[in-house]
């Protein structure tokens, strides 16, 4: 049952990633990002949009950012010259007249953004490979396969949700994905550790039963740790400021799916692969 749901979710996520794609931020797509605070309370998205559209900047996007009079402006134009930001500052003041506080300016050239994207993808792939390798050394290949499929599941679904809701992918999301990989693995390993221990103890219990016992024995730990981690993450999401919102949201999704997959993906795979006491004993005698 759960396998079917997971399989469906993964397929939907992959389709979303293929057809809808991800909403890459300035880090990965290049362009300019400006966070500004208007000192004049009457300034809103519409009036800002009007003055920006006069500047011949190509595609741009303005939205409110957090509370007060904060706005986030993203400009896609890639060949921004060195003093483009100074020109924008001048134009903005001359067209609206109010004074602005430029709280944050990020300008990423196309070459750098391509490199950042590449290193982000490599980092995620590398971490998956490293986990695969570590579990393979510590356990058996069946465990390694189960763990890695669970990880794929978590990463793909988290990215799928980001695609579905068009949430922005930036550098901190890559950090979040890697942490999810670590966390989900952490969860899986604790259960696997118990499976291995029980495999040594009981020779007459079927693997299906055995994984069930192991999951139940570790269940309260799994839940408590997820709760404390989520408490910390929700606190970041609610109080940590706008910049950390995407990061903490990705982590929250990842922790939920990571906990779920450790139980419903990683272990059924052990059953499918017919792991038995022999698998473990072979390792012990070697």
Would you tell me which residues interact with another protein (CB under 8 A)? 35, 82-83, 85-86, 101-109, 111-112, 116, 119-120, 122-123, 126-127, 130-131, 134, 138, 171-172, 174-175, 178-179, 181-183, 185-187, 189-190, 193-194, 197, 217-218, 220-221, 224-225, 227-236, 238-241, 243-244, 247-248, 251
Unique residue bearing structure tokens 């890697």: 178
Task: Between 168 and 187, name the residue whose CB sits nearer to another protein.
Answer: 187
In the complex, least distance from residue 87 CB atom to another protein, rounded to whole angstroms: 11
CA dist 82 and 237 (Å) reads 35
Q: How far is the CB of 59 from another protein (least distance, A)?
A: 20
- Which residue's CB is nearer to another protein, number 194 or number 207? 194
| Identity of the residue, 105 or 256, whose beta carbon is nearer to another protein in the bound complex | 105
Alpha carbons within 13 angstroms on the beta-carbon side of residue 1 total 0
Task: Rank residues 211 and 229 by Cβ distance to another protein and give the closer one.
Answer: 229
Cβ-based nearer residue to another protein, 14 or 230: 230
Q: How far is the CB of 8 from another protein (least distance, A)?
A: 27
Measured between alpha carbons, how far is 234 from 247 in angstroms, rounded to an integer?
11
The residue assigned the tokens 């390694």 is 144
Instruction: Report, in Å, the least distance between residue 69 CB and another protein.
Output: 13
Helices 2-19 and 245-264, packing angle to 10 deg: 140
- Pick from 268, 279, 245: which is nearest to 146 by CA? 268
Q: How far is the CB of 4 from another protein (least distance, A)?
A: 28
Q: What angle do CA 136, 142, 147 make, to 5 degrees?
A: 70
How many whole angstroms separate alpha carbon 204 and alpha carbon 202?
A: 6
Nearer residue to another protein within complex by CB, 111 or 282: 111
To the nearest whole angstrom, how small is the minimum distance from the Cβ of residue 9 to another protein?
A: 23
The answer to whether the beta carbons of residues 248 and 270 sit under 8 Å apart is: no
Specify the residue, 247 or 260, whose C-beta has the smaller distance to another protein.
247
Minimum distance of another protein from residue 15's CB (angstroms) = 27
Residues 70 and 143: beta-carbon distance below 8 Å: no
**Sequence-ordered list of residues with C-beta below 8 angstroms from that of 64, at least 6 positions apart, any chain:** 45, 70, 71, 72
């Amino acid at each position: 049952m759960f396998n079917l749901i997971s399989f469906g979710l993964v397929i939907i996520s992959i389709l979303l990633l293929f057809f809808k794609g991800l909403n890459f931020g300035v880090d990965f797509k290049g362009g300019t990002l400006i966070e500004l605070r208007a000192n004049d309370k009457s300034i809103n998205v519409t009036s800002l949009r009007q003055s920006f559209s006069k500047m011949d900047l190509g595609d741009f996007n303005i939205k409110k950012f957090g509370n007060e009079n904060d706005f986030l402006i993203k400009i896609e134009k890639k060949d921004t010259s060195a003093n483009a930001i100074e020109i924008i500052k001048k134009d903005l003041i001359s067209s609206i007249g109010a004074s602005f506080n430029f709280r944050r300016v990020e300008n990423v050239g196309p070459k750098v953004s391509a490199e950042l994207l590449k290193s982000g993808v490599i980092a995620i792939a590398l971490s998956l490979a490293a986990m695969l390798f570590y579990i393979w050394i510590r356990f058996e290949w069946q465990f390694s396969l189960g763990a890695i499929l669970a990880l794929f599941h978590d990463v793909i679904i988290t990215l799928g949700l980001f695609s579905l809701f068009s949430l922005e992918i930036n550098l901190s999301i890559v950090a979040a994905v890697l942490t999810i990989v670590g966390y989900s693995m952490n969860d899986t390993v604790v259960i696997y550790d118990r499976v291995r221990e029980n495999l040594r103890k009981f020779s007459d219990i079927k693997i299906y039963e055995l994984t069930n016992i192991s999951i139940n024995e570790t269940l309260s730990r799994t839940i408590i740790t997820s709760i404390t981690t989520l408490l910390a993450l929700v606190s970041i999401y609610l109080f940590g400021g706008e910049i950390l919102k995407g990061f903490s949201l990705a982590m929250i999704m990842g922790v939920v799916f990571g906990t779920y997959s450790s139980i419903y993906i990683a272990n059924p795979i052990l059953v499918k692969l017919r792991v038995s006491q022999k698998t473990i004993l072979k390792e012990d005698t070697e």
